[in-house]
Amino acid sequence: MNFISNILQDLLNTLFSFTGDLGVAIVIITLIVKLLLMPLSLRQKFAMRKQQDLAEKMNHIKEKYKNNAKELEKQLQKHSVESMKSMLGCSTLLLQMPVVYALYNTFLNMPQGSTSVLIPWISSLNVSDNLFIIPCIYTLTMLAPSLISFIPYFKASTQVAFSKQMVISTVIMSFVLTLRTPVAIGLYFITSSIYSLIEDVCFRIYVKQKNRLIVN
């Protein structure tokens, strides 16, 4: 873990020497790490998509063979193996955690008194945002993936219903997470969240186009 942290710290220092702005360096290094982890992220998305398709297929099988217990059990066993394989694909998220933790730790150990043109109202990236602008922005970026599901083109057939409880829990968790954390961490969270949103939109477009080609 320290090895990864040292590499990221050296990279952050290098980016800072080029940009002259630690906030900009944080955004760049976050994007670099997210791009490097993109194969794992996409594999996870495909695995989750496969899980959703399998869930639909299982429901169809249960309905089709509800009066034939023997055939129902046979079909469910047949698809359970495929389901387990797709669940293993979802576990790739765990492989990303050491890198994400090391990146988080790198920002916690930044030099004191650093400022950024990206956040001009803050005197130092090591302090929290007393104006609560960073928590508000992060909360909006966290709500965005659920909100785009209301757009007909991006709506998934098996998506979780978007309820008031989900909105409230997302707002509270996002706000609390960045309320008293250093602005540098908040900037990392926002950059990471926006990148994930763009990646999710691109993935949904890809799936829609692929399904359209299959139908045609």
> Residue 162: what pLDDT?
54
The Cα–Cα gap between 65 and 126 comes to 61
The tens-digit pLDDT sequence of the chain (216 residues) is: 577 778 888 888 899 899 989 899 999 999 998 898 888 888 877 777 777 667 677 777 766 666 666 666 666 666 555 555 545 444 555 656 777 777 777 777 777 777 889 999 988 888 889 999 999 999 999 888 777 777 766 665 544 455 667 778 888 888 888 888 888 889 999 999 999 889 888 888 887 777 766 655
The length of the chain, given as a count of residues: 216
DSSP per-residue codes, 28-41: HHHHHHHHHTHHHH
> Residue 135: what pLDDT?
93
Tokens of 59: 């429901």
- Predicted structure pTM score: 0.77
**Alpha carbons within 13 A on the beta-carbon side of 207:** 20
> Residue 74: what pLDDT?
66
The Cα–Cα gap between 26 and 116 comes to 10
DSSP per-residue codes, 66-78: TT-HHHHHHHHHH
In the block, tokens 């757009």 appear at 151
CA 4, 9, 15, 17: dihedral to nearest 10 degrees? Answer: -150
The Cα–Cα gap between 190 and 184 comes to 10
The Cα–Cα gap between 34 and 85 comes to 25
> Residue 43: what pLDDT?
80
- Domain positions in the chain: 2-215
Residue 83 CA from chain centroid, whole number = 22
Amino acid, single-letter form, for residue 53: D
> Residue 95: what pLDDT?
59
The Cα–Cα gap between 62 and 6 comes to 53
The Cα–Cα gap between 74 and 66 comes to 12
